[in-house]
Structure 1
Amino acid sequence: MKFVRYAFALVILFLCAKCKTTTESGQTEQTKEWLTYEGRADMPNVVLVSGDEEYRSEEALPQLAKILSARHGFNCTVLFAQDPNMPGIANPNYGRNIPGLEALETADLMVIFTRFRALPNQQMQYIDNYLKSGKPVIGIRTATHAFNFSAADSTSSWTHYGNGYDVEDEWKGGFGRLVLGEKWISHHGHHQHQSTRGVVASGAEGHPILKGIGEGEIWGPTDVYGVRLPLPGDSQPIVLGQVVNRAGEFAADDALYGMRFTDSEVAEVKVEKDKDGNEKTSNPNDPMMPVAWVKSYQIPGGQPGKVFATTMGAATDLLTEGTRRMLINGVFWSLDLPVPEKANVDTVGTYQPNKFAFHDDQYWLDKNLSVKSLQ
């Protein structure tokens, strides 16, 4: 009888252990806090870090991971912003927690698409360790301002990563400027009204990242970001962003706000207000801003590495084949792998991304967006 009770207890313990299988960050079989996509054993590990409030990185990066895994055999892990009190529920507005960053310890490539995050010390340590290793980085859209630490974060060990950091020369401008080549500067095009058409930068013809991409095939409804010219160090612009006017009417309920791939009128006038409220006009295509570039990076105390940065890449930008191909090619290039002549970038499963937009906290509470549903 004693043996039967002992055996029964072992069975219960086994079942409980199975039910509560966790990793360091607490992911369980029932509560997915991140997504994994298995590729081939001989292919690199790519960790994709989402966490922005506007451009739907939580939709873009799972699709990018699916393409990388299903079409090309990469092993991918996608991470999401979450309130630690609601594990497994993606909440882009929660800026202080991205579970699963320990995956960077075995990553061959980090793809980062975050905005103004203020992560805890332990999570930032994984990012810092990765960067010190000199492994490659791809930064997408808001990654130029990936982090931001306010006065409330004065006890953080990582304030120098913040977009507004202005203390030490080498970290001035934070992660964005030092690693990617630029921090947040401005909207160069008219947000929600002017789209971006990719134009090959002078001297970049034949660059591997452009393989299989025809003239005018890179497009997205997001507007061009402003950067300071020239970009620093050995930065090489690959694609310039031509600001394009919308041909049709503005449509607030449309995923593209009424803009279309077929829009062709090159913008000549941008009207904006200066700091005193006075209107001023300029030509947003003179000069055109780089929207994709490559460079090297090396953070203090670390090894040198390589970067592919693009200020395109919102979830709705990935509806365009040429834009997807630029990003997939960027992964191959970053990992020193031969770039396919024309990479298969067909979307995997149903891909109907939401329009780029900010939402208040109540929206995300009501939406209750499970990480598992993004698989």
Structure 2
Amino acid sequence: GAETWSILEHNDINHVMLVGVHTNMCVLGRPFGLRQLSRHGKDVVLVRDLTDTMYNPAMPPYINHFSGTDLIVEHIEQHVCPTISSEQVLGGKPLRFRLDRRPHIVIMIGEQEYLTRVTLPEFARQQLYADYRVSYVFADSENPNYFHDIDQIADADLLIVSVRRRTPPVAQLKFVRDHIDAGKPVLGLRTASHAFSLRNNSPPSGHTSWESFDGEVFGGNYQGHHGNKEKDDERTLVWRSSPPDAPLLAGTNLQGETPTTSWLYKTSPLRPGTNVLMMGRVGQRQPHEPVSWTYVHQGGGRSFYTSLGHPDDFQNADFIAMLKNAVDWCVAP
């Protein structure tokens, strides 16, 4: 450690990229590692695709070896220093280990109302990391129409969308369009029905909307909600409308009508070809509305949409089971 530090100081090196093994041992904890370099003022980053973790999947948390590395990288990003990937320096594509055959899920988040920047990563940690490689595309906090690392969608096997009324730059939205045109699956949560819609307003110069995204991708027909969002309003009641053996509702215990905090979206009528899994109502209001369904989108790939997604829904075991089933169904051959 002292020798490494002396070399850096003698050559006036303040910007350091660390690679190598093992991420959770030497790379992080040695005297020349990330923690010490950051603590002593060096501008240090981990090159996250050029490292590997010492982890045995037979030990807790019992996940894929490469998912273990992802968890360590996530810890480093939250508590130690930023990370980059090799193609940001060298060009080309990031390194992927030959034995890492996990399907790649990209979760695109750009909404403030339902806190999916918190709930979706936690869902992924608990439900997806064992079997999938998960990456995130977050909207910028200062420029909400700009999405960081959106080029990751080009490598996605599944795109999960939790975005509300954003109009990205044309080149950024093209990654979403290309994913769909390639026939790849899409999963939408709640505000994804109006992810790129501005209610007939014009986007800023150089940016673009996609007003028909809901219908073309999910077969949906979002027209607002039933207004039961205040604390004293009637709760939304949901129930299964699919056969008892429907695979996307396997592991759920939906018996009769179940209350949910998510206020009910107006989604009917859906496009032909949708397969409705759950319905919902508010008191005696009409019509009853589809709440969860599947569709084959305009690119020929599978899509799943649910108008649920309030933070309270992520505390509901039936919702979690349905969402995990939907991910597996979307990615299945």
Unpaired stretches in structure 1, ≥5 consecutive residues: 1-6, 85-93, 163-173, 244-266, 268-282, 338-375
Q: Assess if the C-alpha contact under 8 Å between 2:137 and 2:148 holds in 1.
A: yes
TM-score by structure 2 length? 0.68
Amino acid at match of 2:81: Q
Q: Partners of 1:68 and 1:103 in 2: how far apart?
A: 21
Alignment CA distance shift 1:294-1:9 (3 Å): same
Q: Partners of 2:181 and 2:155 in 1: how far apart?
A: 14
Asked if 1:67 is matched to 2:118, the reply is no
Asked if 1:241 is matched to 2:241, the reply is no
Equivalent residue for 2:220?
182
C-alpha deviations, 1:267-310, integer Å up to 9, x for none? 2xxxxxxxxxxxxxxx32x4321100001111xxxx41111000
Equivalent residue for 2:305?
309
Q: Partners of 1:75 and 1:215 in 2: how far apart?
A: 30
Q: Partners of 1:74 and 1:218 in 2: how far apart?
A: 30
Equivalent residue for 1:205?
244
Q: Partners of 2:118 and 2:229 in 1: how far apart?
A: 20
Equivalent residue for 1:373?
none
TM-superposed deviation, 1:32? 6.7
What secondary structure sits across from 1:225 in the alignment?
A: coil
TM-superposed deviation, 1:15? 4.8
TM-superposed deviation, 1:20? 5.2
Amino acid at match of 1:141: R
C-alpha deviations, 1:20-57, integer Å up to 9, x for none? 5689xxxx883479xxxx9x933211111111121111
Equivalent residue for 1:51?
110
C-alpha deviations, 1:130-165, integer Å up to 9, x for none? 111110000000000001353252543x33x13xxx
Q: Partners of 2:174 and 2:132 in 1: how far apart?
A: 25
Amino acid at match of 1:197: L
- Select which of 89, 104, 124 maps to 2:173: 124
Equivalent residue for 1:146?
195
Q: Assess if the C-alpha contact under 8 Å between 2:221 and 2:268 holds in 1.
A: no
Asked if 1:329 is matched to 2:325, the reply is yes
TM-superposed deviation, 1:11? 6.3
Instruction: Give RMSD over aligned pairs.
Output: 3.0
Percent identical across equivalent pairs?
A: 23
Q: Partners of 2:225 and 2:111 in 1: how far apart?
A: 16
Alignment CA distance shift 1:324-1:121 (3 Å): same
TM-superposed deviation, 1:197? 3.3
Show the 5 A alignment for 1:188-267: 188=226, 190-192=228-230, 193-201=233-241, 203-216=242-255, 219-229=259-269, 231-243=270-282, 267=283
* Number of aligned positions between the proteins: 255
Q: Assess if the C-alpha contact under 8 Å between 2:17 and 2:47 holds in 1.
A: no
Q: Partners of 2:160 and 2:179 in 1: how far apart?
A: 12
What secondary structure sits across from 2:291 in the alignment?
A: strand
Q: Partners of 2:10 and 2:175 in 1: how far apart?
A: 37
Amino acid at match of 1:208: P
